[in-house]
Structure 1
Amino acid sequence: MSAGAASKVQNMDTATLVLATMRRRGITGLPRNYELVYEALNASNQSLTREFESLSRFPGQDELDLLGKKHFPHHHRQTVVEGAHDKMTDEVTAMLRLLKQEQSSLESYSKLLGETSKRISAKTASSSEFLTSVLGVLSNATGDTMEKGKVVVEHMVERAREMEQVKLELDEYKRIANTDPLTRLANRRAFDETLSNLYIDKRAAMYHALIVADVDHFKKFNDAYGHPVGDRVLGIVAAVMKSAVRKDVFLARTGGEEFAIILEGTSQEATIGIAERLRRKIETTPLKNQKTGLDYGPITLSLGICMASEASGAEELYNKADIALYAAKNTGRNRYMVYKPELNEQFEKSWNLYTK
């Protein structure tokens, strides 16, 4: 996106700009189109922005949906899965048809062998001419059967390759569907699935932990500088998190300015060390406009920690980590808190005051 376009996104009301762009380019007002245009104008996903700008002046719905399937597969999930299902069904049906034909061919060949054996065993079958004729028939039948078998095998291999390709496409779709497009971290769907798997083995769950994190005063970045700066904050937080933990550690953006880290095979002490390292790295990461030199101020994180041994299941683990996060927010932000039962009372009191 050009500097002028980026400036417009910052200075003009985002909804107005999106609607104006859709009207100017003849884009139908569907919810999925609105999200596509919004994210393209936001410039938080440079690949999407470039591809959107390269569309025809008045893009058709097919063009838009093709781009949407690539960057927002959650809108097209049913279509993708149904297409893969239909293709797999066709391939399996074709394989069964080939096997049935092969079975019929082998049955015919077996029948021919049986009839020929009877004729050779008969007393009348004594002339060399007859035996030569029989051997010729058997030779041709054997050759034909073997050739048909080779063709069937080749077709079967081809069908197997087709199904493997469908599997690869589904795997790629799942990867994209479980990825947050802004930060490239896992999204909430992937987080919920991974968290629920922690308690499959109850004994191993004793050594797992959850850290939930929230960007402090995130709303002020959006209100003061616009959504593009807010998106940049989220991108920086995600990048710092990736650099601060091992590659096998599960990281997710669970919604808005909220993040989560799932640790397996860890202790409370090690988990606290990771949380504190993340907090310090975020705190010391500058957030400046590279062109103007404008300093947007420090980014800080509040974090809540809960060991899986403190909960009986995924939902309880998340709720307790969230209570610890609330306590970190409530006691000054830019800190971590470890869940302990006494935090429940503090949380309940504050929640009751809020709801009155």
Structure 2
Amino acid sequence: MNTAVAQKVQVPDIAAQVTYAMRIMGISPIPRNYELFYEAYIGSNPKLTRELAALGSKATQEELDEIGAQYFGHHHGVTAMDGVHTRIVGELEGLLRLLRQEQTSLESYNRLLDETVVRITGKNATSMDLIRSVIGVLTEATGDTISQGKVMVENVAQKSLEMESVRKELDEYKRIASTDSLTQLANRRAFDDKLSAIYNSTMAHNVTGLILADIDHFKKINDTYGHPVGDKILASVGSVIRANVRKDILVARTGGEEFAMIIEGNNEEEVIAIAERVRVALEHTPFKNSKTGVNYGPITISLGLCMASSAEGPGELYSKADIALYCAKNGGRNRTMPFEDGMKKDFAKNWLIYRR
């Protein structure tokens, strides 16, 4: 993103544009396809955009998945997650079968008890042989029921262990699906989910802030040193940001050279201090190739922020933070700017919740 040279244009409804393009091309509107076309539309990865365009209007699902697997590591988890879902269903069905068997066994035992009561209380229940017979039947039936119960407990325990294993596997796939493969930070999907949840409660608005950050002159870095070096710098910047904030702060790479932080539990002055700590730490971080001695630095970032209490919803919060980021870029870069009323509003981008 180069907000300093952004042009005043009418921001399109990206979701509608992406959905329309997919429909025209006959592309199945499934989540992983939507993500491909979304990323191609916003242009965060020109190479991805070119490869997707090269498929033309008759792209097969196999071709789309091949591109997805190349650029989005979590696409490998799509089929795997489907398989996990199937395994969970299978485990639950097996557990239900066990419970039904136990229910049938108990119902049979209850019927036997009822029949025994009738026989004992009947008029002909005077013979000691009959009583002994009844006691023998009850003893055997009770022993069988207890034995079956023990087996049932063991089977249920085993099913529980198997389902716990599947749950952990599913949690790992979810983590992968919410992680940016390059920086290992949260990705746009996770960021959008967190941003959309901020306004679910009105209690925390005064102590929740959004910081948007953008690496200064990143295009020049890519043009000068190449994209592989650019990728390493992106990963290093992500590491510096993550190392200089609390663990409970969501740090995400939201696209290209853009990063975001959602900070809960701090007022505006404290959020500004957090942003400044990150900015200064990055400014003093050396970016040098240990083998060749080439110095890629200094690397700096510009940051814009807005408190949730200054916006009516996630879209407005994102827009105002982006306006502040634009002002930081336009004001000389390598600085932090909180949103203020009166800032120029022609350059803010729309925020879109990630469509599953």
TM-score for the superposition, normalised by structure 1 = 0.76
Q: Secondary structure at the match of 1:252?
A: strand
Q: Secondary structure at the match of 2:126?
A: coil
Change (3 A) 1:257 1:98: same
The answer to whether the 8 A contact 1:323-1:344 is kept is: yes
Residues 111-120 or 267-276, more deviating: 111-120
| CA shift for structure 1 position 74 | 3.2
Paired with 1:303 and 1:211, the residues of 2 have a C-alpha distance of: 7
CA RMSD between the two structures:
2.2
Number of the residue aligned with 1:73: 74
Change (3 A) 1:188 1:346: closer
Paired with 1:151 and 1:240, the residues of 2 have a C-alpha distance of: 55
The answer to whether the 8 A contact 1:288-1:294 is kept is: yes
Paired with 1:295 and 1:118, the residues of 2 have a C-alpha distance of: 95
Paired with 2:318 and 2:336, the residues of 1 have a C-alpha distance of: 15
The answer to whether the 8 A contact 1:288-1:296 is kept is: yes
The answer to whether the 8 A contact 2:198-2:314 is kept is: yes
Letter in 2 for 1:281: A
Number of the residue aligned with 2:171: 171
Paired with 1:135 and 1:113, the residues of 2 have a C-alpha distance of: 11
Number of the residue aligned with 1:287: 287
Letter in 2 for 1:207: V
Change (3 A) 1:146 1:309: same
Number of the residue aligned with 2:82: 82
1:138-149 matches, cutoff 5 A: 138-149=138-149
| CA shift for structure 1 position 123 | 3.8
Letter in 2 for 1:266: N
| CA shift for structure 1 position 96 | 2.0
Q: Secondary structure at the match of 1:285?
A: coil
The answer to whether the 8 A contact 2:210-2:263 is kept is: yes
Letter in 2 for 1:99: L
Residues 225-234 or 87-96, more deviating: 87-96
Change (3 A) 1:214 1:122: same
1:205-284 matches, cutoff 5 A: 205-284=205-284
Q: Secondary structure at the match of 2:317?
A: helix
Letter in 2 for 1:105: S
| CA shift for structure 1 position 144 | 0.8
Q: Secondary structure at the match of 1:343?
A: coil
The answer to whether the 8 A contact 1:211-1:261 is kept is: yes
User: Structure 1, residues 37-96: CA drift from partner, whole Å, max 9, x if none?
Assistant: 6x7xxxxxxxxxxxxxxxxxxxxxxxxxxxxxxx7123542x234322222222222222
Paired with 2:245 and 2:114, the residues of 1 have a C-alpha distance of: 71
| CA shift for structure 1 position 203 | 2.6
The answer to whether the 8 A contact 2:306-2:317 is kept is: yes
Letter in 2 for 1:119: R
Residues 262-271 or 80-89, more deviating: 80-89
1:170-189 matches, cutoff 5 A: 170-189=170-189
Number of the residue aligned with 1:353: none
1:1-356 matches, cutoff 5 A: 30-33=63-66, 72-74=73-75, 76-77=77-78, 79-345=79-345, 347=347
| CA shift for structure 1 position 178 | 0.5
| CA shift for structure 1 position 34 | 5.1
| CA shift for structure 1 position 174 | 0.9
The answer to whether the 8 A contact 2:323-2:345 is kept is: no
Letter in 2 for 1:74: H
Paired with 2:115 and 2:65, the residues of 1 have a C-alpha distance of: 68
Paired with 1:154 and 1:171, the residues of 2 have a C-alpha distance of: 26
Residues 172-181 or 84-93, more deviating: 84-93
Query: What are the ranges of 5 or more consecutive residues in structure 1 without an aligned counterpart?
Result: 1-13, 19-28, 40-70, 349-356
Give every structure 1 segment of 4 or more consecutive aligned residues whose post-TM-superposition deviation is greater than 6 Å.
none
| CA shift for structure 1 position 338 | 1.2
Q: Secondary structure at the match of 1:342?
A: coil
Number of the residue aligned with 2:16: none
Change (3 A) 1:303 1:138: same
Letter in 2 for 1:293: G
Q: Secondary structure at the match of 2:158?
A: helix
| CA shift for structure 1 position 221 | 1.3
Paired with 1:317 and 1:324, the residues of 2 have a C-alpha distance of: 11
Paired with 1:80 and 1:140, the residues of 2 have a C-alpha distance of: 48
Q: Secondary structure at the match of 1:337?
A: strand
User: Structure 1, residues 100-134: CA drift from partner, whole Å, max 9, x if none?
Assistant: 22222212211212222222223433333332222
Structure with the greater relative contact order (CA < 8 A, sep ≥ 6): 1 or 2? 2
Number of the residue aligned with 2:56: none
Q: More helix per residue: 1 or 2? A: 1
| CA shift for structure 1 position 36 | 5.4
The answer to whether the 8 A contact 1:116-1:134 is kept is: yes
Sequence identity (%): 54
Paired with 2:185 and 2:123, the residues of 1 have a C-alpha distance of: 82
Query: What are the ranges of 5 or more consecutive residues in structure 2 without an aligned counterpart?
Result: 1-46, 52-61, 349-356
The answer to whether the 8 A contact 1:327-1:347 is kept is: no
| CA shift for structure 1 position 301 | 0.4
